[in-house]
């Protein structure tokens, strides 16, 4: 049976999983791949703890694998859906492209450890999803352990993240007393079997008052608590409103245990039904619809091959409309050049494979001999460009200089290329008297990557000197206000597009400046229209 173009696009679900390290992202991803048949046995995704390794190990791992496939994109088929999971690395390798990856997703799954609640890295990633107003689905993990009460977690989501929630299911008990989850939509109990958690018995009931529950759960205290909580949810909880979910104001919550494979399949099935198919994107010539059959896409991530013998890089392109066909000619809009897309790759669980055809929503990897920059647009017969890719506030800063002044040219080239890849952000001091280049990164590991790559790929030694800043804010306002601000601020820099950025050591310093200059706007990312 021939599948129409529209069906192909509508079957695509491209999303990212956001979480704090150790919440169980690797575990959940493995289970999802397992259901999709992309891996034979859950527990085989490589590189599970690679980011906990020392820098040298990490390099070694990258070398062996050529490219870190697991930290990029994974795709699989589930029923009639074509699923693309964008990975957002955690731990020390957390970098700006973790944020940028979210710009290629149509929705996000937020994974939360039931005992820890909303954690620091989740907050950061959530903010980027919020900025894009994409739907967010929440999976509360590790119910096989004792954790916070469900209502407490819902309150935390609202207080810390400002998002309301709608529980799709509700746990009965937790930890040693974990008995079941109640699926509110399908009115059924999914029973947790402590001996064999992946063996899930499903029992249809008429609702929370069904006497069958007393019989099955056989714990009066837990059943009473469950009924009270359900009543409270029905009376005081948020209604299920699709529109609110679609614009990211309401998050459907699922409770489960990834490691026990409990609740994962139910989550996946609900998620695939509720999550959006590829969404339209803004360009300088208007909105580009995914069903528009003319091929277009944008580069959201560039990954260097760590093997110095192969200087190639992979540019990850999110297809925004149309069909990609191997060997097709496209316009590289920034360069105004036609190029042939000869050997793109797509990413299965553990391998790269050549791709013949791909659709809006898919991610393809393009061999990049240095022709791409983050944010570049490729179009078939056209010349529009997608909205600029934002820069996000770095959190660690160093003054950077080249050790041997004779190597200045190689240094400039290396720094330029690494900036294009988005591995670092480069700033220049605003005051002429103290000319200094400053690099900013989101994760400290990037400094090591920078040092290592400049040395191995460009034969340049650098000096890095840590600076005490933690925040960068892009500033905008009327010239007179900006000038007044600039006169009093020593820590003013320019980004590579000459936009003014103020650096602050701490929150207090930043708030003081904001209070003193109410006419100036301070933005957390360079996307200052957002
Ligand atoms: P991450 O990618 O988000 O960093 O988390 P990862 O999946 O590596 O999981 C972090 C730890 O949490 C792992 O334990 C993992 O086994 C455990 N975990 C994941 N899901 C669940 C769950 O549903 N219940 C419980 N109880 N634990 C869960 P670890 O001891 O750090 O590693 P390992 O020895 O299991 O590899």
pLDDT digits over 4-38, tens only? 999 999 999 999 999 998 999 888 988 888 887 76
Decide which of 89 and 303 is more confident: 303
Q: Based on the domain organization, do 16 and 161 belong to the same domain? A: yes
Q: What is the DSSP letter of 125?
A: H
Indicate whether residue 171 lines ligand 1 (CB < 6 A): no
Q: Based on the domain organization, do 194 and 291 belong to the same domain? A: no
Q: By percentage, how much of the chain surpasses pLDDT 70?
A: 88
Judge whether residue 404 has pLDDT over 80: yes
* Ligand 1 atom nearest residue 48's Cα: 8
Q: How far apart are CA 501 and CA 267, in angstroms?
A: 42
Q: How much distance in Å is there from the Cα of 267 to the middle of ligand 1?
A: 18
Indicate whether residue 390 lines ligand 1 (CB < 6 A): no
* Ligand 1 atom nearest residue 21's Cα: 4
Give nearest CA residue, ligand 1 atom 11. 22
Judge whether residue 521 has pLDDT over 60: yes
The answer to the question of residue 417 being in a domain is yes
HSE-CB at 238 with a 13 A cutoff on CA atoms is 21
Q: What is the pLDDT of residues 256-279, one digit of tens each?
A: 999 999 999 999 999 999 999 999
Choose one of 24, 87, 258 to mutate for the ligand 1 pocket test, by most ligand atoms within 8 angstroms of C-beta.
24
- This model's pTM is above 0.85: yes
| CATH number where 55 lies | 3.40.50.300
Q: How far apart are CA 94 and CA 201, in angstroms?
A: 39
Beta-carbon contacts of residue 318 (< 8 Å; ≥ 6 apart)? 14, 104, 297, 298, 300, 362, 363
Q: Based on the domain organization, do 357 and 430 belong to the same domain? A: no
Q: Based on the domain organization, do 444 and 325 belong to the same domain? A: no
**CB-based contact 386:39 (threshold 8 Å):** no
Say what the pLDDT of residue 385 is: 94
Tell which residue, 292, 267, 265, has the closest CA to residue 281: 292
Q: What is the DSSP letter of 262?
A: B
Q: How much distance in Å is there from the Cα of 187 to the middle of ligand 1?
A: 30
Q: How much distance in Å is there from the Cα of 226 to the middle of ligand 1?
A: 28
**CB-based contact 370:379 (threshold 8 Å):** no
* Ligand 1 atom nearest residue 262's Cα: 23
The answer to the question of residue 529 being in a domain is no
Q: In total, how many domains does the chain have? A: 3
Where does a domain end: 379, 407, 433? 379
Indicate whether residue 24 lines ligand 1 (CB < 6 A): yes
Q: How far apart are CA 173 and CA 266, in angstroms?
A: 19
Q: Based on the domain organization, do 300 and 440 belong to the same domain? A: no
Q: What is the pLDDT of residues 449-490, one digit of tens each?
A: 899 889 988 999 999 999 999 999 999 999 999 989 988 888
Q: How much distance in Å is there from the Cα of 141 to the middle of ligand 1?
A: 10
Choose one of 17, 23, 26, 27 to mutate for the ligand 1 pocket test, by most ligand atoms within 8 angstroms of C-beta.
27
Say what the pLDDT of residue 57 is: 37
The answer to the question of residue 530 being in a domain is no
Q: Based on the domain organization, do 205 and 166 belong to the same domain? A: yes
Indicate whether residue 145 lines ligand 1 (CB < 6 A): yes
Instruction: Find tokens 């999803």 and name the residue.
Output: 129
Q: What is the pLDDT of residues 275-292, one digit of tens each?
A: 999 999 999 999 999 999
Say what the pLDDT of residue 354 is: 60
For residue 349, give the H/E element and its range: none
Q: Which of 151-165, 185-199, 495-509 has the highest mean pLDDT?
A: 151-165
The answer to the question of residue 388 being in a domain is no
Say what the pLDDT of residue 100 is: 87
What are φ and ψ of residue 399, in 5° steps? -80, 135
Say what the pLDDT of residue 353 is: 55
Q: Based on the domain organization, do 348 and 255 belong to the same domain? A: no
Indicate whether residue 18 lines ligand 1 (CB < 6 A): no
Where does a domain end: 274, 298, 319? 274
| CATH number where 449 lies | 3.30.70.3280
| Alpha-carbon distances of 217 from 172, 192, 198, rounded to whole Å | 9, 10, 18
Indicate whether residue 31 lines ligand 1 (CB < 6 A): no
Give the structural domain span for 482: 396-523
Six-digit token pair at 293? Answer: 């059959």
The answer to the question of residue 78 being in a domain is no
The answer to the question of residue 76 being in a domain is no
Six-digit token pair at 398? Answer: 């160093």
**CB-based contact 326:342 (threshold 8 Å):** yes
Beta-carbon contacts of residue 252 (< 8 Å; ≥ 6 apart)? 137, 138, 165, 166, 167, 168, 240, 245, 270, 274
Q: Which of 69-83, 145-159, 376-390 has the highest mean pLDDT?
A: 145-159
Q: Based on the domain organization, do 218 and 233 belong to the same domain? A: yes
Indicate whether residue 177 lines ligand 1 (CB < 6 A): no
* Ligand 1 atom nearest residue 141's Cα: 23
Q: Based on the domain organization, do 146 and 197 belong to the same domain? A: yes
Q: Based on the domain organization, do 409 and 369 belong to the same domain? A: no
Average pLDDT over all residues of the chain: 86
Give nearest CA residue, ligand 1 atom 25. 142
Give the pLDDT mean for 348-370. 74
| CATH number where 307 lies | 2.40.30.10
Give nearest CA residue, ligand 1 atom 16. 259
Q: How much distance in Å is there from the Cα of 21 to the middle of ligand 1?
A: 9
Say what the pLDDT of residue 343 is: 65
Q: How much distance in Å is there from the Cα of 142 to the middle of ligand 1?
A: 9
Q: How far apart are CA 247 and CA 523, in angstroms?
A: 22
């Amino acid at each position: 049976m021939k599948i129409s173009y529209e069906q192909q696009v509508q079957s695509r679900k491209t999303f990212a999983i956001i979480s704090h390290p150790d919440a169980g992202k690797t575990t959940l991803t493995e289970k999802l791949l397992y259901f999709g048949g992309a891996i034979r046995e859950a527990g085989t995704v490589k590189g599970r703890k690679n980011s906990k390794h020392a820098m040298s190990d990490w390099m070694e791992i990258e070398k062996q694998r050529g490219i870190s496939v697991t930290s990029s994109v994974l795709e699989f088929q589930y029923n009639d859906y074509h699923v693309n999971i964008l990975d957002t690395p955690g731990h020390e390798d957390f970098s700006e492209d973790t944020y940028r990856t979210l710009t290629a997703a149509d929705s996000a799954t937020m994974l939360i450890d039931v005992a820890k609640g909303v954690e620091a890295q989740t907050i950061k990633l959530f903010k980027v999803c919020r900025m894009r107003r994409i739907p967010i689905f929440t999976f509360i993990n590790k119910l096989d352990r004792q954790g916070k009460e469900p209502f407490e977690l819902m309150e935390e989501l609202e207080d810390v993240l400002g998002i309301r929630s709608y529980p799709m299911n509700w746990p009965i008990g937790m930890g040693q007393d974990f008995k079941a989850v109640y699926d509110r939509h399908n009115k059924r109990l999914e029973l947790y079997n402590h001996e064999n958690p992946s063996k899930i018995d499903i029992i249809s009931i008429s609702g929370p008052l069904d006497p069958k529950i007393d019989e099955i759960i056989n714990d009066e205290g837990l059943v009473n608590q469950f009924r009270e909580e359900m009543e409270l949810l029905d009376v005081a909880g948020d209604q299920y409103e699709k529109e609110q979910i679609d614009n990211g104001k309401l998050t459907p919550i699922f409770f489960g245990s990834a490691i026990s494979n409990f609740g994962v399949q139910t989550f996946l099935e609900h998620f695939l039904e509720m999550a959006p198919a590829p969404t339209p994107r803004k360009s300088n010539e208007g909105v580009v619809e995914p069903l528009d059959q003319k091929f277009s896409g944008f580069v959201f991530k560039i990954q260097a091959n760590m093997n110095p013998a192969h200087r190639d890089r992979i540019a990850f392109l999110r297809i925004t409309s149309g069909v990609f066909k191997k060997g097709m000619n496209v316009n590289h809009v920034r360069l105004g050049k036609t190029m042939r897309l000869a050997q793109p790759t797509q990413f299965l669980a553990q391998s790269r494979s050549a791709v013949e055809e791909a659709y809006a929503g898919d991610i393809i990897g393009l061999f990049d001999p240095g022709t791409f920059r983050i944010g570049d647009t490729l179009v078939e017969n056209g010349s529009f460009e997608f909205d600029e890719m934002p820069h996000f506030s770095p959190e660690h800063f160093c003054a950077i200089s080249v050790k041997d002044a004779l190597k200045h040219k190689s240094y400039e080239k290396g720094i330029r290329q690494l900036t294009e890849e988005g591995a670092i952000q480069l700033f220049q001091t605003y005051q002429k008297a103290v000319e200094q280049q400053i690099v900013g990164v989101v994760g400290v590991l990037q400094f090591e990557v920078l040092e290592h790559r400049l040395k191995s790929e460009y034969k340049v030694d650098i000096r890095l000197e840590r600076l005490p800043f933690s925040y960068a804010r892009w500033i905008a306002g009327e010239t007179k206000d900006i000038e007044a601000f600039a006169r009093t601020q020593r820590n003013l820099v320019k980004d590579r597009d000459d936009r003014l950025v103020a650096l602050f050591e701490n929150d207090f310093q930043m708030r003081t400046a904001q209070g003193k200059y109410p006419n100036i706007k301070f933005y957390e990312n360079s996307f200052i229209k957002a």
